Structure formats: C-alpha cells, structure tokens
Structure 1
C-alpha cells in the first residue's frame, strides 16, 4: 500500500511533533537514570530464572 504525498508529509510532521513534544521528558529521564543507583542483581535474577525455566522446558520434551 502506497501512501499519498500529503499522507507522507502529515505523518512526518506528526512524528516531528511527537519528538519535540516528548523531547524534554526523555532528556530528564535519561539524566535521572544516569544518577540512579545500579541494581544489576535485580535485573539478572529474573533473566536467570527465565533462562533456567526455558532449559527445563526443553529438557522435558
């Protein structure tokens, strides 16, 4: 399906508007994430549990 020229322009304008509208919030969020304490154990434990569960399921077949 090919978009008409005006639809492509409108889509581009909407995308740019969304970027400019959300830009300040994204900037603040990135700055806040740099200052946050690192908690790798909190991320690795669920990932490890999922990996072990998938291995368990594979071995059960």
Structure 2
C-alpha cells in the first residue's frame, strides 16, 4: 500500500508543477498561489516556443 497525498500525485500525473501547501495556508491562498505559478510556467513555455511540447520534453527554460 502506498500512502501519499492525492493532490501531489494528481499534479504530477496531469503534468502540472508540484505546488506543496504552506503551513497555515487556506484553500483560497493556495489556489491563488498555484494559479500564479502555472500562469508563469505557461508564459515561460510560450516565450521559449515550447508551448505545445510536453513539460518533460523541455530543457531548463
């Protein structure tokens, strides 16, 4: 049996960056922070011309 946090695996399996929660952070704060990180990631991929590529296929941008 593997015990793990559902959200951690969910983000990895859906090719999103892993965004661990911070102590005392509520759902709204976490969601806002995660959305900013994802938006920054997509912007960096677009700027590098790698928007359609899988995250695993990209070198450090």
TM value normalised by structure 1 = 0.38
Between Structure 1 and Structure 2, whose CA radius of gyration is higher? 1
TM value normalised by structure 2 = 0.38
Higher relative contact order (CA 8 A, sep 6+): 2
